[in-house]
Structure 1
Amino acid sequence: MSEGALFHAPWAWLDGRWQADVLLQVGPDGHWRDVRVGLPAPEAATRLSGPVLPSLVDAHSHAFQRAFAGLAEQRARDSDDFWSWRERMYGVALRITPDQLRAIAAQLYTELLAGGYTQVCEFHYLHHREDGQPYDDELAMSWALAEAAREAGIGLTLLPVLYAHAGFNEPALRDTQRRFRTDADWVWRACQRINAAGLPLISAGVALHSLRAAYDDDIHQLQRHLGTSAVPIHIHVAEQQQEVKDCLAATGERPLAALAKHGLDARWQLVHATHSTRTEIDRIASSGAGVVICPGTEANLGDGLADLEGWLAAGVPMTVGSDSQVTRGWVEELRWMEYGQRLGLQRRNVAAAPGRQPSTAARLYEACVKGSARAAGLEAWGLVPGARADFLVLDLEACGLAGVPTSALLDGLIFASQGPTWHQVFVAGQPRALRDAARLQRYAEVMRDCWGA
């Protein structure tokens, strides 16, 4: 190995299994220069205190909703569902300023680091002033998120959202959606400006809110702007049964089938994709698009259960997201992903693949490691040369992990641990703080401003 920052791990998760005595070298650009197995620790290496894992990308986040997490868990009417939750969420969206958003996001991003994420894809549609008029700099809210990410030290993929319509048969936005109004030109301009800024660890793609908020003409116009640009394209799709019914009524097709007609490719990330048929899954698989499942939020909102077996069997790239921020760590997301299937199907180890990958934890985790780069618009991810040097150091004394055999550590982490589970979290070869008193205090002040004592 040539000179460079060196780390030595007693164990590291490489090629789908634990391997011993791993030497990891970071280049001056903060990316892995070399990774080798079975080597003793040289004197120049930093000896890591526990097993090392690649972190994951949080592939779907609405940062401002951190200020609403836990505040929609009371029911005053006969029924409560996603749509009633959404109306209450709009009340939060209508009051947050750029300074408040920065404080909320800085605390959230610190919590996401503590949850094992080192890159977050921010599905960002809160753009304009409280009255719906643009800020002097129309990207004021985007820059607030970028500043929050810089402060926390997390990687950020900003996804400015095309949000033009209130519903399939509601061309105009509602007044409660006035801060979200954009078109394809706005979104492409925002993407270009963010990428041109050259901010460390920060890049941009684009997003469409949903088929009900972006009609065919909107999608086609954005695609014309994008051309062959290698930026990620994210969209909410098939999250709710009512959305499926409305799409059928308006287009004659289910959401995934209607979306597939737009010529999907490996840049596309389909968020939720909860209500699918096997025919639709096969069509998405042939396109190369990925799916982003958000089990914590989908459970909290009563969305339903994705066809996990179908997506895994088809080999569709997969990631997870914190979405509404009711959960903010990937261990809990993967646990919920599997436990939801067990409850629905009344079976155990649903995601395991006997003969190929008998460990449920390993199969889910490996799928998300492999899907992370494309979801974030990065060239590589994990403990591989060329990827950014992001990694997690597992705390073997964490609750549920003490005494667990190395061969079962990943199973114990996902199905038996109770956090915090990381001894250290690194981004671009540098350790990150997993708690910051000043950020927490600023966040608490914003919460008091929004909600009172």
Structure 2
Amino acid sequence: MATFPVNRLFADHALLPTGWAQNVAIALDQTGEIVSINADQPIADGDERVAGPLVPAIANLHSHAFQRAMAGLAEVAGSGDDSFWTWREEMYRTVGLVNPDDVEAIAAKLYMEMLKGGFGHVAEFHYLHHTANGTPYSDPAEMSLRILNAAKATGIGLTHLPVFYAHANFGGVAPNAGQRPFLHDPDQFLALLERLAPLCRDNGQTLGYAIHSLRAATPEEMRTILERAPVAGPIHIHVAEQTKEVEDSLAWSGRRPVQWLLDEMPVDERWCLIHATHLTDDERQRLARSGAVAGLCPATEANLGDGIFPAVDYMAEGGRLGIGTDSHVATSVAEELRLLEYGQRLRDRRRNRLAGPGASVGHTIFEAALKGGDQAVGQKTSGISVGARADFVVLDGANPYIAAASGNQILDRWLFALGGETVRDVMVAGQWKIRNGRHDREEDIDRAFARVLMKLK
């Protein structure tokens, strides 16, 4: 695809780590890294003036790409007791119908949508490894390679997280038929990481790994992988998403899932605990102190009826969090951050829950998700700062709501009044990927995705 290289940008308004600045000149090197930032500057010859306020692109810390194709297909009521566990049956049906070409087409469509929604990077929590009957492909990394291809084709930054999955429930319960495409033993999984390490490195992509959940791996398997994994990237895990998981964990170990994980595993800044919805006060405080990131997916958690994360207290305790789109019933920064705040309001029956007195809610949660997301995907430097990767979003300066706003009003209007359509341009690693709301491979990506949807209906 065309890459539109840029060496110097000029923004009338830009959100820097110190706050909003005016007349900002930003220079990039040929690798797409920011080498200088100067505010209160006149525009110079050769500068490209962006068409609206410039903000950092956020990292999406949790994605199951193939699930975008089933969005909307699990909204038929069952017995009245529908939950994550009934939704999972539709997910298994989708898994049984898709092949590697389909997965690449779905991922490309999703990643294009994420870019349009203001994300510049995605952590792909990838557990769909094999054929529908569990037979590995001739290259056991086939499905992962399709994810790498889709990210490269669309231009989104990628942290690839192959997932270890071996069991159906706590205590090493045998997997069920629907889980056959996901399964590895530790040696097979470690070999997959070895295979992927040079490929991710050559693509400029980050490799970490994930353990699906405490349900899906025994303590011994987890320790083997942690001790022998040949990569130093992020470590992600689903935990405490549903109350049934908490009950099953108590029955198995006498401890709740997050309690067990913090007691038994070396949870630190490399870790991202996805959902962590159901926490005691002690678990919440320990998680905040650990330095790990809580990976919240508000739209999916609402769609599945999971519950509401205790974000007000957690953030007050210094806890780190980021956002992901998980099953992709939503694909934009604005939708996820809005639902994050609105969930707290609905629970507490109060407004403006996640910011202190006099502070902008939009700015507070945007900055928290920016920093937590970058940590969770392995980015060492965050935001529009020297040494960081040039991942930018240009909000539409022609939109009257944005044109009439200043400072943090820009974020508050984007996140709480407008949404994804406000994103005009998106740059990743110094290259424009979305211009005026469009991707340069949009028609091809849409055609391939449409063919998959016809197959799944």
TM over 0.5: yes
User: Which residue number corresponds to residue 450 of structure 2?
Assistant: 444
Deviations along 1:28-58, one digit per CA (max 9) or x if unpaired, are 1111111222211111211111110000001
C-alpha contact 1:164 1:213 (8 A) present in aligned 2: yes
The whole-number CA distance in structure 1 between the counterparts of 2:18 and 2:372 is 14
Deviations along 1:152-205, one digit per CA (max 9) or x if unpaired, are 111111100010110015521111100000133333332332221233342210
**How far 1:424 sits from its partner (Å)?**
0.6
Closer/same/farther in 2, CA of residues 168 and 241 from structure 1, 3 Å limit: same
**How far 1:27 sits from its partner (Å)?**
0.9
The whole-number CA distance in structure 1 between the counterparts of 2:372 and 2:101 is 33
Q: Which moved more, 1:381-390 or 1:319-328?
A: 381-390
Q: 2:186 aligns with which of 184, 187, 190?
A: 184
C-alpha contact 1:58 1:321 (8 A) present in aligned 2: yes
Closer/same/farther in 2, CA of residues 64 and 218 from structure 1, 3 Å limit: same
Runs of 5+ consecutive residues of structure 1 not aligned to the other structure? none
**How far 1:402 sits from its partner (Å)?**
4.4
TM-score by length of 2: 0.94
Q: 2:215 aligns with which of 212, 216, 219?
A: 212
| Percent identity (aligned) | 42
User: Which residue number corresponds to residue 280 of structure 1?
Assistant: 283
**Matching of residue 302 in structure 1 with residue 275 in structure 2:** no
User: Which residue number corresponds to residue 395 of structure 2?
Assistant: 394
**Higher RCO (Cα < 8 Å, 6 or more apart):** 2
User: Which residue number corresponds to residue 60 of structure 2?
Assistant: 58
C-alpha contact 1:123 1:158 (8 A) present in aligned 2: yes
1:166 maps to a residue whose letter is A
Match runs of 1:398-437 below 5 Å: 398=399, 400-433=401-434, 434-435=438-439, 436-437=442-443
SS of corresponding position for 1:242: helix
2:454 maps to a residue whose letter is R
C-alpha contact 2:31 2:430 (8 A) present in aligned 1: no
2:212 maps to a residue whose letter is H
User: Which residue number corresponds to residue 46 of structure 1?
Assistant: 48
C-alpha contact 1:50 1:394 (8 A) present in aligned 2: yes
The whole-number CA distance in structure 2 between the counterparts of 1:70 and 1:449 is 15
Please, what is the CA RMSD of the aligned residues?
Answer: 1.5
Q: Which moved more, 1:392-401 or 1:290-299?
A: 392-401
Closer/same/farther in 2, CA of residues 185 and 437 from structure 1, 3 Å limit: same
**How far 1:366 sits from its partner (Å)?**
0.5
Closer/same/farther in 2, CA of residues 133 and 399 from structure 1, 3 Å limit: farther
User: Which residue number corresponds to residue 256 of structure 1?
Assistant: 258
The whole-number CA distance in structure 1 between the counterparts of 2:424 and 2:84 is 37
**How far 1:110 sits from its partner (Å)?**
0.3
User: Which residue number corresponds to residue 3 of structure 2?
Assistant: none
The whole-number CA distance in structure 2 between the counterparts of 1:398 and 1:140 is 43
SS of corresponding position for 1:319: strand
Closer/same/farther in 2, CA of residues 253 and 445 from structure 1, 3 Å limit: same
Q: Which moved more, 1:119-128 or 1:200-209?
A: 200-209
